[in-house]
Amino acid sequence: MNILLPVSRGASFDDAVRLAIDTAKAHAGRVRVLSVVDAAEIRRIEAGARPGAIHLARHAADEVRKRMTAEGTAAVAGAVRRCEEAGVPAHGEVLEGELEREIVAAAGAHDLLVSATASHFDPDLDDASGKLVLTVMREGGIPVLLSGATDRPMRTIVAGCGGGPRTERAVGAMARLSLWKEAPRGILLAVDDSPEGGQERIAAPRRILADAGYPAWEEKVLPGPRATTFLSFCDSADADVVVLGGWGEHRWDDLLGLSITGRLIEDGRRHLFLYM
């Protein structure tokens, strides 16, 4: 398994490194640590010059470039060192370019991108948590595993079965990577006021897991409002990992404010495996 670990800002990167190491160790994987010096941020500094002060702006931009490169190099070296100390093969690099474009380009050569639910890539941490990595998932076609804020073991896995291709793709990606095949408890959860409708939603994920050699997972069909029922069940089952179809809406505000995915990212307590 080839894992892409983009360097994010803030304390949550430590959680992402830990999760990447644990996942790689469990699946004989390799980790590529990637830091991107954001060229757009450097251009903004250069463009902000007052008339007659272009040389000062360029000097300021050069200083920012040097600082960002040094910070990225240190973060990459630290993450690679932690991987190697844990017995996980790893390498890292620092690139300068458009942040999203470089990560999307790198994603294509990997099986999984690991980050954190609270990940930020903006220098001032002003970007919404997890926004960039979910954009990479949408554009780069790669599953995303987001670490929760706590270091929790992966004992209970809940796969949301909303029905349709997004559910099948998410569960299929998990099965293709053989993730949590030996977890103590796996649950296929559908929210539907009709038991028969719920079983229809669960049927395809059940088949995908069986074909991949997974042991039979528990199956739950619950009535009620979709988001609140799903989230309440995750609390009651003390879910450690939630598997979802990921990006259901076209606008980030919709995803963050209304969807199960967005609310789980805001909550930040659980690991999330997402694929669209």
Q: How far is CA 237 from CA 39, 155, 186, 218, 265, in A?
A: 44, 11, 11, 12, 18
State both tokens at 117. 């639910």
Prediction pTM value: 0.89
Task: Show pLDDT as tens, one digit a residue, over the chain (276 residues).
Answer: 999 999 998 888 999 999 999 999 999 999 999 999 988 777 776 666 565 556 666 777 788 889 899 999 999 999 999 999 999 999 999 999 988 889 999 998 999 999 998 887 776 666 766 677 777 777 768 899 999 877 778 999 999 999 889 899 999 999 999 999 999 999 999 999 999 999 999 999 999 999 999 999 999 999 999 999 999 999 999 999 999 986 444 444 455 556 888 888 888 899 999 997
Q: Where in the chain is the domain with CATH 3.40.50.12370?
A: 2-147
Q: Does domain 156-274 have CATH number 3.40.50.620?
A: yes
Question: How far is residue 252's CA from residue 204's CA, in Å, rounded to a whole number?
Answer: 28
What was the pLDDT predicted at 222? Answer: 97
Q: Give residue 64's identity as a one-letter amino acid code.
A: V
Q: Where in the chain is the domain with CATH 3.40.50.620?
A: 156-274
Parallel, antiparallel, or unpaired: how do β-strands 271-274 and 241-244 relate? parallel
Q: Are 88 and 95 in contact (CB under 8 A)?
A: no
Of 34, 98, 96, nearest to 67 (Cα)? 96
pLDDT for the residue numbered 134: 72
Please give the CATH number for the structural domain made up of 2-147. Answer: 3.40.50.12370
| CA gap 39, 65 in Å, rounded | 8
Using the structure block, give the residue that is written with the tokens 């017995």. Answer: 87
